[in-house]
Amino acid sequence: QVQLAESGGGLVQPGGSLRLSCAASGSIVRINTMGWYRQAPGKQRELVAAISSGGSTNYADSVKGRFTISRDNAKNTVYLQVNSLKPEDTAVYYCNANIIRHGWAYAMDYWGKGTLVTVSS
């Protein structure tokens, strides 16, 4: 069994910052790409940022220069530093990881339950 657990969401004023964390646990052999997605009310889930096992990153245009994704491979954890937050960043943020489990020959995508980020004055 593999689980992803997010933390760090909350209510923040426009211009503020948060640090989201997501830890993977379970019978893990290898974690490939890890990423953060978000889903705002009435909208589809969208990719925010992703990071490969080697550290290559990519970001949605809407967050470039404001959000930074990083990972600690020793802790099976991915982070998202979110700065200069805007009301339109309000969403549930989901962690995603492509993981090879013990006893499995191929990788599968796993999702966390999400953490709510609300940007409001």
Three-state DSSP state, 78: strand
**Model pLDDT, residue 32:** 97
**Model pLDDT, residue 84:** 98
Determine the residue type at 111: W
pLDDT digits (tens, 9 = 90+) for 31-61: 999 999 999 999 999 999 999 999 999 999 9
Q: What is the mean pLDDT of the chain?
A: 97
- The span from the CA of 68 to the CA of 74, in Å, is 19
pLDDT band at 107 (very low <50, low <70, confident <90, very high): very high
pLDDT digits (tens, 9 = 90+) for 8-21: 999 999 999 999 99
